[in-house]
Amino acid sequence: MTSASPPEPFRRQLFDVLERGRRGDRLSRFVDLALIFLILTNVAASVAETVPHVHAAYGQALSWFDGFCVSVFIVEYAARLWTAPEHPALRDKPAWRARLTHFFNPMIILDLVAISPFFVELLLGADFAVVRILRIVRFYRLARYSPVLATIVGVIAAEWRALAGSGLLFAALLLFSGVAMYLAEGAVQPEQLGDVPSAMWWAVVTLSTVGYGDVVPITLAGKMVAGLTMIFGIIFFALPVGIIATSFQEQIRRRDFVVSFAMVARVPLFASLDAVAIARLIGLLTARRVAAGEVIMTKGEEADAMYFLTSGQAEIELPSGPVLLSEGDFFGEIALITEGQHRTATVVAARTCDLLVLGARDFQHLLLTNPDIADAVREIASQRARTTQPTDNPK
């Protein structure tokens, strides 16, 4: 039995560059932004090339630009396949099997489809307008870099049964409206509504509330059918929109909860809490991201919250020298324990920080409902007060 491939440092680094761009690494973010820029400009060039005078004047330059973009996309495609064994879900597989599995990933298939027009033109040795316009498929590669697009795709996949039911309902309304209009006006307007398919075309236009006006009912029965069709059309289109909107909101809420749960669970002070207590605590905390160099709290200001550092580093500015705080540390609690106090030190983000902010009222509620946490906070605050000068404690 073939064992999984051993980790390769360069392959691992390349995987991180390609896949971790949304996690704060500068090189990864630069690569992501560069690829997004190439995708957008390449699609814009492909659309502009369909204009006859633009194609005549700049066709050669646009062709060279497309060749450059495709070269970059091919290198990216090959790199994503090569680094597939570093994917957490594929690390237990042999390298060839990991790459084969990744080859059938929807986003990888989309990448392949996006570069295929170049090879079609190259192999056939001709420039086909239809093939050129297929380059716009590359626009949909942006789903890899947009969590919102990925969420929408997930919503549609999760609600496909409900959306399929809506489609069946639309087909039923379409058939009913078409047949009803055929019976009402087929004899009066034989050229426009003399058969069911023609009447169904009218029904599609009316149900979608487009109303071209090319076919207008002239009898009382036809106008009644048209009125009901319009009303049902408005009601119907609210149904799939409501399904997608509700599911989208639920997906966002679920994702935010998972992220918040993970952040809270990383704080050592909350290590003793069970899942139920953490879930309740999430409702009291507010997530905040602070860029490097940004002031988190300022000396002399009124104390209204304490902070938990879940990632990054923060620096306390003290007369004796800066004190560095890292993941798992918390600060600002002393001023909350001693009501009416003001901050006695300034805290600045040394690196990009993810913080959990606990307001003063919620802090008191947390201490009342969790005696163990209250004891731990007071003990740490007492130690800081004993071992440092008064100005050394960020309040």
pLDDT one-digit tens code per residue, 271-318: 666 777 777 777 777 878 888 889 998 888 887 888 888 778 899 887
Pair 25, 138 in one domain: yes
Q: Distance between CA 27 and CA 204 in Å, rounded?
A: 51
Residue 12, pLDDT above cutoff 50: yes
Q: Distance between CA 155 and CA 178 in Å, rounded?
A: 32
Pair 101, 179 in one domain: no
Query: Is residue 35 very low, low, confident or very high in pLDDT (cuts 50, 70, 90)?
Result: very high
Mean pLDDT of 309-332: 82
Q: Classify residue 259: in a domain, yes or no.
A: no
Q: Classify residue 151: in a domain, yes or no.
A: no
pTM of the model: 0.55
Q: Classify residue 186: in a domain, yes or no.
A: yes
Q: Where is pLDDT greater, at 125 or 292?
A: 292
Mean pLDDT of 116-124: 79
Q: Classify residue 261: in a domain, yes or no.
A: no
Structural domain total, the chain: 3
The closest of 212, 213, 210 to 230, measured between CA atoms, is 210
As a whole-number percent, the residues of the chain with pLDDT over 90 amount to 17
pLDDT, residue 393, reads: 46
Cβ-based neighbour number of residue 294 at 10 Å:
12
For CA atoms 87, 91, 97, 101, give the dihedral sign: negative
Pair 20, 94 in one domain: yes
In sequence order, what are the residues at sequence separation of 6 or more whose Cβ sits closer than 8 angstroms to the Cβ of residue 366?
Answer: 281, 284, 358, 373, 374
Mean pLDDT of 37-62: 89
Mean pLDDT of 29-53: 89
CATH number at residue 236: 1.10.287.70
Q: Classify residue 204: in a domain, yes or no.
A: yes
Query: Is residue 153 very low, low, confident or very high in pLDDT (cuts 50, 70, 90)?
Result: confident
Q: Classify residue 105: in a domain, yes or no.
A: yes
pLDDT, residue 392, reads: 43
Pair 117, 195 in one domain: no
Q: Classify residue 376: in a domain, yes or no.
A: yes
pLDDT, residue 215, reads: 84
Residue 212, pLDDT above cutoff 70: yes
Domain span holding position 373 = 275-392
Query: Is residue 23 very low, low, confident or very high in pLDDT (cuts 50, 70, 90)?
Result: very low
In sequence order, what are the residues at sequence separation of 6 or more whose Cβ sits closer than 8 angstroms to the Cβ of residue 222?
Answer: 181, 184, 185, 188
Mean pLDDT of 175-195: 91
Q: Classify residue 152: in a domain, yes or no.
A: no
Pair 354, 382 in one domain: yes
pLDDT, residue 220, reads: 93
To the nearest whole number, what is the mean pLDDT of the chain? 80
